[in-house]
A = this chain, B = another copy of it.
Amino acid sequence: MSLVRVHNFSVSLDGFGTGDDQKLETPFGHAGQRLMEWAMETRTFREMGFHGESEGSFGVDEAFASQWGPGIGVEIMGRNKFGPKRGPWDSEEWKGWWGANPVFHTPVVVLTHHPRPTLELEGGTTFYFVDADPVSALQQARALAGDLDVRIGGGVSTIRLFLEADLIDHMHLVIVPIILGRGERLWDGLEGLERRFDIEATTSPLGVLHLIFTRRTTR
């Protein structure tokens, strides 16, 4: 069966996956760009259109960043990753943060209690708005992915939801050595999670820590 994977998901040393006060101008809230700075210099993120200072690295950060795309047939994301608006949609004008030709190039399942019509954009990205629990959302995503893997794209509460339901096979986390103090905590409600995973860790010259969680048991 295809795998369920998380890639490049960054949390602060105190466990926040996003900052406080998220809005249109500050998608990560008061965290700003700090959680994703490590990725900005990688070739993978440069090719996605992010601006960095280098031509794009091939170091350890890129080695991890580049795992994001290959083999993935669909992404599942939370409504809060898709856009800054909460509650019912005022209109269908908002088409995500990613422009006319989004970086995904696959179907994307957006979990929301407020479904809206399927949104097909350029380059193979189609957003499906689905009101479903993790198990059923995963079934729908797999139907869209063919034999390929499913990426859980975030945000924090979506990853936590799939971890709680024990649906994640591989998870690549990046610990950024900053203390955000407030925002949304990844680890809440996940006591003892380590018993279900083998955990590997490595450092990067940029000072971040890559943690790789591999599920111990197979379903």
Chain A residues near B (Cβ < 8 Å) = 13-15, 175, 177-182, 185, 187, 189-194, 199-203, 207, 209, 211
Contacts and interface: CB of A to CB of B under 8 A. Distances in A.
Contact of A187 (B179, B202, B203, B209): B179
Nearest to A193: B179
B202 A179 contact: no
Contact of A194 (B178, B182, B192): B178
A76 to B, nearest CB: 22
Given A15-B13, A209-B209, A177 B194 contact: yes
Nearest to A19: B191
A194 B209 contact: no
List the number of copies, as a whole number: 2
Given A203-B201, A209-B201, A181 B189 contact: yes
A9 to B, nearest CB: 13
Contacts of A200: 207
Nearest to A179: B193
A178 B201 CA distance: 13
A179 B207 contact: no
Given A203-B202, A203-B203, A14 B187 contact: yes
Given A178-B192, A203-B203, 14 more contacts: A13-B15, A13-B211, A14-B190, A175-B175, A177-B201, A177-B211, A179-B190, A179-B191, A179-B193, A181-B187, A181-B191, A181-B192, A199-B207, A202-B203
Contacts of A177: 194, 199, 201, 211
Contacts of A193: 179
Contacts of A202: 203
